Each structure stands twice: as C-alpha cells, then as structure tokens.
Amino acid sequence: MDIDVLKSLVAAVETGSFSRAATSLYISQSAVSKRVKMLEDKLGLALLDRSGPQLQLTPAGRIVVKNAKAIIDVCCRCTEELRQFRQERNVSFCCTPAFGLTYLPKIVRAFMELRPDVSSFRFTFDNPEKIMDGLQSGDFQMAVVEHCDFFPLQGTVIDRLPDDVMLLVGPASLGAQSQQWTLDELLAKNICVRSNGCCSRLILEDKMAAAGRSMDAFSRVLTYDDLNMILEAVLEGDGVGYVARNVVEKHLADGTMVALEVPGFEQVFHRSLLVGPSFQPSQESDDLIRLIREITC
C-alpha cells in the first residue's frame, strides 16, 4: 500500500472531510478523494461512510486505519533514523496556529537566511494534543505548544517562552477601544471559535461552565478550522472571538478590533518549546532553537 494513500485516508478520517484533509496534507481535495477511492477499489471494500455531514469509518475502514497508523509511524521513524546516512539537512517543526500566525513567518525567513544549506524545512500547524502525539511518534523533531491545566506536557521542555493571555475581541463597530461587558451582553452575540480540541475553545468552555452556562447560551456558535477565518469573521462583524492577544495585537493597535472585558474570562496560558524522544541535537536544531528564543522573547 502506498504510504501517501494511507496518509490521505487517515487525514480524511481525523479531519472529517476531504477538503480539511487536503489542507492538512498541502494537496488538492480531488487528490485526497482519488487516493481514498483508489484504495477502496484495490481492496474491494468501502472504507468510508460518506452519507453524513462528516466522513465516518466503515468496519473495514477501522481495520485499515488502525494498521495504516502503525505503518505511517514505522515509516516516519525509519526516515528519521536513515537521514544520518545521507547528506540531507532537514528540520521538522510543529506549532499551534496562534504561535504560527504570529511568529512562524519571521522564524522561517531568519532560519533560511542563516542556513541556506538546509534542503527541507517542514512546518505544520495543529492543536496541542495532536502536536504532542506527533512528538512522541517522531513525526517531527521540535514543537511549540500553548498549554494550561487541560494539557499536561509530553516531551522534554527545552525552554519556556513568554506567556500570553486569551482575550474576547470584537469588531471596531462596537465602539471604544476597550469595553466592560456583562456576561448577558456577551451571550447576546455570536461567538467565533476553533473546532473541538483546540486550547482556546477548551478554555472558553471552562469559563462558561464556571459561570454556570454552556456554549449553547451564545446567540450562535460559529466554528472554524482556520484561525484566519475567525479573525476575518470578527473583522467583518459576524461575531466576537476568543483568541490569544499576540494574534490580534496589530488589530487592537490600529483600532480595527476592540478588547471586550468580561469578568472571569481573561486567562493567562503558557508556551513551551518541546522535543520528542526521537530528537537528535544538531547544528540545524540549535540554530532554530536560538532563533525561536530571539524572535519570541
């Protein structure tokens, strides 16, 4: 079985759609769909149930995906271990969207200018839980994650990066640069949030539970897989967002967004630079770690 085909099947199941799987794999939606269909035709079995709003595994699909994950894990480990015998210089790094949107472009530019000899720099966005799973499996070498009580860290902490804070933000049309709101005033608005499993959503759900409410208490819950889409929705006035301050710092400074002060909803969280058990120190990794420290601190 082709490893890329197996990766496409696993991504389709984990994201629930061919389009989101395509985004995570950096290929077209049609390519993901064709790969999965090709595998189904080869096996003579349906692996996915396409009838609902999200893709679901069939009984045969569950067997294939369970073994596909094991195969992918072995291939990733093998690739990493064999790199020492080649002259390739590679770096693989994963981070959350909040960190990536704010810092990653600067980090990538600085790293490529410093190390033009590195042939491949692979970077990926994901939620903290999947990032730590990827570190443990050897899918990438280093990662930056936001963490709080919901996410105990797994892996070796290389450095604690500056903390950040979660804020409720709204469009400039709401008026003043910073506003004090009651909970009821907040709940009368649409809330724009990330999908389940993201740190920001879990923190918001915890804050709502502490206030004796659930997410259903909002006028509408608008769920997005892409942090950029949340920012765009807030700027367009579609709702309010709950995001890390560094993500919206520019918008707060230029007045296109306003911070909303609701008692009990501000939350400090931590960021850490981690490596997994398969990490092998190198000059490339040392350079990347130094740049991350310089750019974020």
pLDDT for res 62: 94
* Residue owning tokens 């569950």: 62
Q: 31 and 109, same structural domain? A: no
Say which DSSP state 104 is in: H
- 195: in domain: yes
What is the rounded distance in angstroms from the CA atom of residue 59 to the CA atom of residue 81? 34
Question: What pLDDT digit, counting tens, does each position of 109-142 carry?
Answer: 999 899 887 777 788 888 887 888 888 878 888 9
Token pair for 248: 């919206």
- 202: in domain: yes
What is the total residue count of the chain?
297
Say how many domains are in the chain.
Answer: 3
pLDDT for res 76: 78
Token pair for 206: 């915890």
- 155: in domain: no
Amino acid at 152: P
- 248: in domain: yes
Out of 43, 68, 83, a domain closes at 83
Say which DSSP state 86 is in: S
Instruction: Name the residue among 244, 225, 258 with its Cα closest to residue 296.
Output: 244
pLDDT for res 57: 94
- 57: in domain: yes
CATH number for 172: 3.40.190.290
Q: 129 and 70, same structural domain? A: no
**Full domain range(s) for residue 98:** 88-142+277-296
CATH number for 131: 3.40.190.10
| CA dihedral (227, 229, 230, 234) positive or negative | positive
pLDDT for res 39: 93
pLDDT for res 184: 94
Question: What pLDDT digit, counting tens, does each position of 139-187 carry?
Answer: 888 999 887 766 667 668 888 999 999 999 999 988 765 578 899 999 9
Q: 93 and 79, same structural domain? A: no
pLDDT for res 154: 66
Q: 168 and 104, same structural domain? A: no
- 147: in domain: no
Q: 55 and 74, same structural domain? A: yes
- 157: in domain: no
- 158: in domain: no
* Rounded mean pLDDT for each run of 10 residues along the chain, 297 residues in total: 88 88 78 92 93 91 93 82 64 88 90 83 82 82 81 76 92 76 94 83 91 95 89 95 94 93 89 86 89 92
CATH number for 55: 1.10.10.10
Token pair for 255: 């007045």
pLDDT for res 61: 93
pLDDT for res 191: 97
Instruction: Name the residue among 192, 172, 175 with its Cα closest to residue 239.
Output: 192
Encode burial over 49-80: b for 16+ CB neighbours within 10 A, e otherwise: eeeeeebebeeebeebbeebbeebeeebeeeb
User: Structure pTM?
Assistant: 0.65
